[in-house]
Structure 1
C-alpha cells in the first residue's frame, strides 16, 4: 500500500476543507473518530454481515469498496491529526482469524482504544485491523488505492459544490 502517497493526498484534502470552513485552529480529533465510526457502520450495513434476520444479499462490491474507502479517508485523517507520518508506520500483514462481523467489532474496539491513547502503536493496530477487514471483504491493496484516488476527487468536487 502506498501509504506515503495516501497520507499526502489526505493532508491536501484536509487542509482544503479546514481552510474552506475556517477550522484551522479547531481540534477535530473526536469528530473524526465519530465520523469513522459512522462510516464503519455504513460499511457494515452495506455488507449486511450481521443481518442474520434478512435474506437480502449484500450490496455490490463497488458500493462496499466505496464505503470502505470512506473509512480509509478518516483513518488517514486521524493519523494526520496526531502528526504521524507514513514513514513511521510499519504495517504487518497477517490474516484475521475472525469472521467479518467479529472483525468489524474488533476494528471498533481498536478505534475506541486509539481515541483514548492517540498512540502510534494503537494507530498501527487500527490500520492493520482495517486492512484485515479489507481482506475478509475480498479487497486488494490495488483496488483500495484506486477507489481512494477516485473518492478523493469526488470529495474535492463536493467541496467545490458546497456539499
Structure 2
C-alpha cells in the first residue's frame, strides 16, 4: 500500500475542508475520533457480523469496502492531526485469533486508548488492528488503495457540492 501517497492525499483533503469551513484554528481531534467510531459502526452494520437475530447476509464486498475506506480516511486524518510522519508507520498486519465481531470490538478499544494517549505506538495499534479487520473481511491492500483513491475524489466532489 502506498501509505505516503495516501497520507499526502488525505492531508490535501483535510486542508481543503478546513479552509472551506474556516476550521484552521480548531482542534478537530475528538470530532475525528467520533467520526471514525461512527464509520466503523457503519462498517459493522454492513457486515452484519453481530446480528445474531437475522439471517440476512452481509452487504456486497463493494459496499463493505467503501465503508472500510471511510474509516481509512479518518485514521489517516488522525495521524496527520498528531503529526505522525509516514516513515514512522509500519503497515504490517497483526495476527489474531479473534473473529470479526471480536475484532471490531478490539478496534474500538484501540481507538479509545489512542484517543487518550495520542501516542505513536497506540496509533500504530489502531492501524494494525484495522488492517487485521480488513483481512478478516477479505479485503486486500490493493482493493483498499483503489477504493481510497476513488472515495477521495468523491469527497472532493461532495465539498464542491456543499455536502
Name the TM-score, length of structure 2 as normaliser.
0.98
Measured against aligned partners, the alpha-carbon deviations of 1:61-119 in whole angstroms (never above 9, x if no partner) come to: 00000000000000000000001111111233333210000000000000000000000
In structure 2, runs of 5+ residues without a counterpart are: none
State how 1:47-58 maps to structure 2 within 5 Å: 47-58=47-58
Aligned partners of 2:127 and 2:86: how far apart in 1? 11
Output the aligned Cα RMSD.
Answer: 0.6
Match in the other structure for 2:150: 150
Q: Which residue of 1 is the match for residue 60 of structure 2?
A: 60
Query: Which residue number in structure 2 is paired with residue 38 of structure 1?
Result: 38
Gapped regions of structure 1 (runs ≥ 5): none
Could you list the runs of 4 or more consecutive aligned residues of structure 1 that deviate by over 6 angstroms after TM superposition? Answer: none
Contact kept? 2:93, 2:129, Cα under 8 Å:
no
| Aligned partner of residue 139 in structure 2, secondary structure | coil
- Residue correspondences, number: 163
Distance 1:129 1:32 in 2: 18
1:1-163 equivalence runs, <5 A: 1-163=1-163
User: In 2, distance between residues paired with 1:93 and 1:84?
Assistant: 19
Q: TM-score, normalised by structure 1?
A: 0.98
Q: In the aligned structure 1, how far is the partner of 2:91 from the partner of 2:158?
A: 31
Tell me, yes or no, if the aligned pair for 2:94 and 2:129 is still in contact at 8 Å: no
